[in-house]
Amino acid sequence: MIIPADKMAAKWWKFDSKELNKLVYLHGALCEALRLYPPVPFQHKSIWGDDCLEFKPQRWISEKGRIKHEPSYKFLAFNAGPRTCLGKEVAFTQMKAVAAAIIHNYNVQGSGRAAT
Ligand code: HEM
């Protein structure tokens, strides 16, 4: 359920790409969503280890708190090699812009029902 945050309606904030690039945990959360729910399913265990089915955004964050880049042969949501997705960076920027705008400008509440 998404409820507009009334108090903030007057100053609705839209993040620019410089700000979006600093959102390290959001980057990790989006990578985890795409890793666990890719357009085409893959066998994960040999690539990501025993906790491969757990949602762990920290997989994508280095010890220094920066974005940790994994090679595309491990992260297959965008494919790898000559057929790799040309829009990967555009897609990440768009996903971050939408997620950051909703999280910042609205009160988001769970419906109480688990996603299936
Ligand atoms: C989360 C969003 C996206 C995902 C998961 C995704 C995933 C993929 C995948 C798996 C392929 C390879 C298809 C194949 O092997 O035939 C692909 C190809 C491609 N994607 Fe994306 N994509 C996304 C968003 C975008 C966006 C926003 C753009 C454009 C701005 C884009 C442009 C392309 C292009 C041009 C190719 C063809 C590359 C080639 O074969 O030379 N994608 N994408």
Q: What is the pLDDT of residues 72-84, one digit of tens each?
A: 889 989 998 899 9
* Assigned domain for 6 exists: no
* Assigned domain for 28 exists: yes
For residue 84, what are the CA distances in angstroms to 42, 80, 90?
A: 16, 5, 14
* Assigned domain for 89 exists: yes
DSSP-assigned letter for residue 59: G
* Assigned domain for 51 exists: yes
pLDDT tens by residue, 84-104? 999 999 999 999 999 999 999
Range of the domain at 41: 11-104
d(CA 32, CA 79): 15
d(CA 38, CA 79): 10
Q: Is the CB of 91 within 6 Å of ligand 1?
A: yes
* Assigned domain for 64 exists: yes
List 2's β-bridge partners, or say none: 108
pLDDT at position 12, please?
A: 79
Question: Is the per-residue pLDDT at 116 higher than 60?
Answer: no
d(CA 39, CA 76): 9
Residue nearest to atom 42 of ligand 1 (CA): 87
pTM for the structure as a whole: 0.85
The total number of structural domains that make up the chain: 1
